[in-house]
Amino acid sequence: MSSVLYDIPLDTWFEVAELLDTQDLINLRIVNKHFHYIFSLNTIWKPLATSRWFKIDDQPREIIKDTKEYFAYYTERNQIDVDISKSMEKIVHSTNSNEIFEIGWSLVNLRYKAIPKLVQLKSFGANLSIKYYSHMILCSIRHGEVIKLLQELGSKYLTPIDGDAEDLLFKLSYIDPAFDRLLPFRQKIIENTIEAVQLHPKLDESTPSSLRILIIRNCLIQCLNFQKDTHPFTPYQQQYVEDSFILRVYAGEALGSKIVFESIVQKIAKYFDVESILTESFMIVKDDTFHDGKAYILMTPKKAKVFSHRHIIRTLGLRQSDLEKLLIPLTNKHILNEVIGTEIHFGLFESEIAKNNSYDEIYNISHSSIRKSHIQFFNHLLHAILSNPKFSGDLLSSTITHREIAEQLFIENLTRELPFNCVHFQNGLLNEQFSSQQLKTSIIKNFYKFSHLNIYSEDSYEKIRTPLKFKIGQIVHHTRTGQIGVIIGHKNEYFTIFNQYGETRVCDKDTLLQMQDITKLDLHILTTELWIGVLFTHFDFEQDRFIPTQHLLNLFPNLRIMN
């Protein structure tokens, strides 16, 4: 028997291992010494660990490379996944705000180790609350990386970019709530573009660098496969929020700003031995076919033109000193302002809705918009860091002079959008007057008191003299706006509805109609962005409504009147 076991190829044992769950594999190790030997081999456990936790680009691959005992590593990570699932179940069944945040913050502190399991729960979980909390904790983990990046760049704000602009833009895309869904497009587009360039008939060893850039640009545009109705790009048109987020461009949902598009071209160009410098106006490329050894390329997703140094001066009528200002390499400031600058542009949805395009048509891959409040959060934080890079003393009050603004940013914004981000401010980032403990207490106390989210309920049962027109969780149609929403509150003659964008509206009862024959499309519209999970656990087809969380009913007991 033993000789037979040893004669079976390791590839076969690995195929067996792929079919079994972790506990079965562990149990096999104790059957006999031969199974113990086979199912202790790194040859078995390394590929299992790699395929389970290291498929995505935001896992530190040096961990898997430097590991010595892969069985021990696999069982440790597996236990973490088990614990995460138990913690999420505990969160969604908890009626205690403090407990919810303590558990959530402990998961945030797991950082990258929590990401694969949370992505799985967010993507495939049946419970809307689990999907919501998985999403919010994922956002907080990734936001922690952006906060560290801003701290690192605070002292390098005006210095040229260290490395590729594309890499920096990618790290800032952790702000994008659709990061997980869009991430695979980055590698796919880069690889497809490289392959298309390699097959291009005009590319050979003698091809000048400037022509190589134009070939790369054209191949990239073909591979990006922009949506047919993507907004037109002109230098004079206000860009959209999504244009600054590089994963949206890779996925074809946004055309991309000039800086974002050029950064992708620059990254791919390095594969073809083309070194370049990005400036505010041009991509400068070393090219011996030009008299000064440089080509100046003016490039957008819609057009590209190559200039010589003399041509620029002659065409633009600039003095040499003025031209030199245009040719200063991009700094970290340029990139940070591109993504989290003070000017908040319109989102694609706000512009495209006038064309009667649906939300899913505009965000056909990400299924979510960029949250402007997230950008504002990081914008305020960057200003705070720049004013006091050493984080000493009154970091917050030195840059945000009005107390009300600080409270709006760190309580309303955090509570409404980023409740678990508080965990990143526990190391002296906030001043003593507005300590992390006070912030934590405020967030817990104000749970559900979101900006623009007023959950109305009568003060007492006695005030309600007639049966209410709607129950909490019922789907209604608002006749004045045409939107559908979910009933979440009631006061006097008005009801509050919660729509798919995480927004609320107080409506006169006579403007609301209960929807009949709820379809999967209706549910999809209301659950796509996951916000509804903060209030409801699932949709009950027998009751024809969403079922509220016990936490919500405990915080607002009089909502039970509508339940």
* Residue 341 is assigned to a structural domain of this protein: yes
Strands 545-548 and 536-540, by their bridges, are antiparallel
CATH number of residue 476's parent domain: 2.30.30.390
Amino acid making up residue 538: H
Q: Which residue has the tokens 């011996």?
A: 288
Residue 224 sits in the same domain as residue 304 = yes
Q: Domain tally for the chain? A: 3
Q: Which residues of the chain fall short of a pLDDT of 50? A: 1, 227-236, 354, 389-406, 427-434, 450-453, 458-462, 464
Residue 394 sits in the same domain as residue 512 = no
* Residue 95 is assigned to a structural domain of this protein: no
Residue span of the structural domain in which 225 resides: 165-362
Within 128-245, where are the H helices?
A: 128-154, 165-172, 179-198, 209-224
Residue 179 sits in the same domain as residue 254 = yes
DSSP state of 8: S
pLDDT at 344: 63
Amino acid making up residue 474: Q
* Residue 356 is assigned to a structural domain of this protein: yes
* Residue 277 is assigned to a structural domain of this protein: yes
In 443-517, the DSSP E strands lie at: 475-478, 484-491, 494-498, 504-508, 512-514
CA dist 434 and 429 (Å) reads 10
CA dist 154 and 149 (Å) reads 8
Residue 518 sits in the same domain as residue 551 = yes
CA dist 47 and 506 (Å) reads 54
Tell me how far CA of residue 61 lies from CA of 65, 70, 232, in angstroms.
Answer: 6, 14, 39
Amino acid making up residue 140: S
- Cβ neighbours around 520 below 10 Å, total: 7
CA dist 48 and 62 (Å) reads 16
Residue 212 sits in the same domain as residue 337 = yes
* Residue 1 is assigned to a structural domain of this protein: no
pLDDT at 84: 97
The SS3 assignment for 296 reads: strand
Span 35-53, pLDDT tens digits:
777 777 777 788 888 888 8
The SS3 assignment for 66 reads: helix
Q: Which of these, 67, 33, 34, lies nearest to 48 by C-alpha position?
A: 67
Amino acid making up residue 228: K
Q: Are 256 and 249 in contact (CB under 8 A)?
A: yes
Q: Which of these, 507, 501, 518, 563, lies nearest to 537 by C-alpha position?
A: 563
CA dist 27 and 20 (Å) reads 11
Residue 176 sits in the same domain as residue 254 = yes
Tell me how far CA of residue 500 lies from CA of 22, 231, 475, 485, 504, in angstroms.
Answer: 38, 24, 11, 7, 9
Residue 352 sits in the same domain as residue 257 = yes
In angstroms, how far is the first alpha carbon of the chain from the final one? 65
Residue 117's Cβ-side half-sphere holds a number of Cα atoms within 13 Å equal to 21
pLDDT at 182: 94
Helical (H) or strand (E) element with 504: strand 504-508
Residue 410 sits in the same domain as residue 261 = no
Q: Which residues contact 237 (CB under 8 A, 6 or more apart)?
A: 231
Helical (H) or strand (E) element with 50: helix 42-53
Residue 232 sits in the same domain as residue 186 = yes
Amino acid making up residue 414: L
* Residue 30 is assigned to a structural domain of this protein: no
* Residue 450 is assigned to a structural domain of this protein: no
Residue 440 sits in the same domain as residue 467 = no
pLDDT at 429: 47
Q: Which residues contact 211 (CB under 8 A, 6 or more apart)?
A: 202
Q: Which residues pair with 538 in a beta bridge?
A: 547
Q: Which residues pair with 476 in a beta bridge?
A: 485, 514
Residue 441 sits in the same domain as residue 466 = no
Residue 414 sits in the same domain as residue 489 = no
- Cβ neighbours around 62 below 10 Å, total: 8
* Residue 202 is assigned to a structural domain of this protein: yes
Tell me how far CA of residue 132 lies from CA of 15, 119, 192, 417, 533, in angstroms.
Answer: 35, 11, 34, 11, 5
The token pair that represents 512 in the structure block: 């609301």
